[in-house]
Amino acid sequence: MPSITEYTGHGFSEPIVTFFSAIYRTKKTSSLTYYDQNNCLIKEGTADIRLIKFFEEYLYLPIAQVSTRAAAIVVRMQNGCLDSYILYVFVTVVALILFLGAYA
Amino acid sequence: MIPDFALYCMLNTLAVIIISPLFVSLIKKVKAWTQGRQGPSVFQTYYTLAKLLSKEVIYSRNASWIMRVTPYVNIAAILTASLFVPLIYVTDSVGGIGNIILFLYLLVLARFFMALAGLDAGCSFGGMGSSREMSISAIIEPTTIIVFAALAFVFKSLNIFDMVLVSSATGTPVTPTLILIGISLFIILIVETSRLPVDNPETHLELTMIHEGMILEQSGRNLALMELSAAIKQTLLMALIINLIIPFGLATSLSLVALGIALCVFVIKGTVLAGVIGLFESSMAKTRFFRLPSLFIMGFFFSTLVIIIEVFA
């Protein structure tokens, strides 16, 4: 028989998320609708906890974006055209000759 | 050295198992007196444990092997940790026993399994207790590490045995900064043993339970083991405060007279500390859960102050 009163993962981590609400920018909202004017009989309600994924958005994503940009530059250089590869070899040899001539 | 240490292990474990329920009852007695009633007898915890040991164990249909294993893991971890803190007799440590960081993480192992067992039965009260306990544990851990670091700075060693040997050689607090560390250790004692203002150990309302919520589903022999391990943990933390800050009377030699005197002195000092804890608990109400980090910051501050004093002076 499955247990439906079991604590979920979100519920388990709710106190920590509230303690660190300044980092996670936790926003809790709730609303209730009533059947009557005096707000006694509850019809339905919603509750919402919103937080930003701090480590993903501010730590991992910037590093990932830097490496994606570096990879895009390398993709443009490795374009499968043999002439550009021969050009790279030529430029490297000329630079090496100049470097050795200047410092060795 | 090795036979000395073996004898120490046996003595310490026996002492801790026999003395711990006494301190639990003493705190309850002090709290009852402040409330104007007589309270249960001083030996009530012994009777409760004896009664529980003879009762039947019942497991929930949703419980797994964690529920069956946890009381034993708990008592094993806590009894191993009890070898690390000398209560009445101190000698040189053998084989790395006595490292204060290992002591802390043995207690954390016990608490981890307790939290898992709270979730295991599938009841929401156990989950609530586990969730709150883990959050408090996460928040108090930096404070505990800093307090132990401050102790290491003062005594120049990470081994509890060396600390207690240095402390008992002088017989009085080694430096005045120990009083500041004592305050932080007291706050850690309150948090780790789930006492007011962190958690009410005598509450019967499941919505207000933290530690009690996790052991709600245990019964019989398992419950006796969990209660005993909580009592032993409390005694170990009390012994840490007592033997590091007011160390006179500790036995450093294996003579019956010295051991007897050390036992009596420890029980008396423990009784006084239990009275202080009871009065402290009776003087305040349970704080709101999300205000607890502010309480822990005080312990953190005192220990950081001690580290700064020790490093720069």
Q: Please indicate, yes or no, if residue A7 is contained in any of the structural domains.
A: yes
Smallest Cα distance from A75 to chain B, Å: 45
- pLDDT per residue as tens digits for the range B8-47: 999 999 999 999 999 999 999 999 999 999 999 999 999 9
Q: What is the CA radius of gyration of chain B?
A: 19
Q: Which residue of B has its CA nearest to A14?
A: B131
Instruction: Enter the tokens of residue B233.
Output: 């943990």
**Mean pLDDT of the B108-137 span:** 91
| Residue A103 touches partner B, C-beta closer than 8 Å | no
In a domain, A104, yes or no: no
The mean per-residue pLDDT over the stretch A61-67 comes to: 96
User: Is it the case that residue B171 has pLDDT exceeding 70?
Assistant: no
The 8-class DSSP code of residue B159 comes to B
| pLDDT of the residue at B40 | 93
Of B61, B122, B290, Cβ closest to residue A18: B290
Cβ distance B127 to A7 less than 8 Å, yes or no, reads: yes
What is the predicted pLDDT for the residue at B262?
92
Residue of A nearest to B126 (CA): A7
Residue B199 pLDDT exceeds 60: yes
CA of A28 to nearest chain B CA: how many angstroms apart? 14
Q: Is the confidence at residue B285, as pLDDT, over 70?
A: yes
- Please state, in angstroms and rounded to a whole number, the distance separating the CA atoms of residues A94 and B86: 75
Supply angle C-alpha B240, B245, B246, rounded to 5: 105
Q: Name the domain count of chain A.
A: 1
Closest to A16 (Cβ–Cβ): which among B119, B126, B135? Answer: B135
Is a pLDDT exceeding 80 seen at residue B313? no
Q: Can you read off the two tokens belonging to residue A32?
A: 């209730």
Chain A residue numbers touching B138 (CB-CB < 8 A): 16
Q: Which domain holds residue A43?
A: 1-52
Q: Do A19 and B123 touch (CB under 8 A)?
A: no
Which range scores top for mean pLDDT: B77-81, B126-130, B252-256? B77-81
Cβ contacts of B124 on chain A, cutoff 8 Å: 5-7
pLDDT band of residue B109 (cuts 50, 70, 90) is very high
B46-65 pLDDT per residue, tens: 999 999 999 999 998 888 99
Substitution target in A3, A5, A7, A28 with the highest count of B β-carbons within 10 Å is: A7
Q: Which residues of B touch A7 (CB under 8 A)?
A: 119, 124, 126-128, 130-131
Q: CA B226, CA B214: separation in Å to the nearest integer? A: 10
More confident: A8 or B225: B225
pLDDT, averaged across chain B: 90
C-alpha A12/C-alpha B259 separation (Å) is 47
Q: Which residues in chain A are closer than 8 Å to B293, comparing Cβ atoms?
A: 19
CA atoms of B104 and A40, how far apart (whole Å): 51
Show residues of chain A in contact with B132, CB under 8 Å.
Answer: 15
The larger pLDDT score, comparing residue B154 to residue B223, is at B223
Mean pLDDT of chain A, nearest integer: 90
Q: What is the pLDDT of residue A2?
A: 60
In the prediction, which pLDDT does B73 show?
96
Q: What is the tens place of the pLDDT at every residue in B234-256? A: 999 999 999 988 888 888 888 88
Contact B88, B251 (CB under 8 A): yes
The answer to whether residue A1 scores a pLDDT higher than 70 is no
Residues of B with CB below 8 A from A6's CB? Answer: 62, 119, 122-124, 127
The C-alpha of B146 sits at a distance from chain A's nearest C-alpha, in angstroms, of 20
Q: Answer whether A15 sits within 8 Å of B130, measured CB to CB.
A: no
User: B60 CA to chain A: closest CA distance, Å?
Assistant: 11
Q: Do A7 and B62 touch (CB under 8 A)?
A: no
Angle at A79 between CA A73 and CA A81, to 5 degrees: 145
Give the residue-averaged pLDDT of B114-142.
Answer: 90
Q: Do A1 and B62 touch (CB under 8 A)?
A: yes
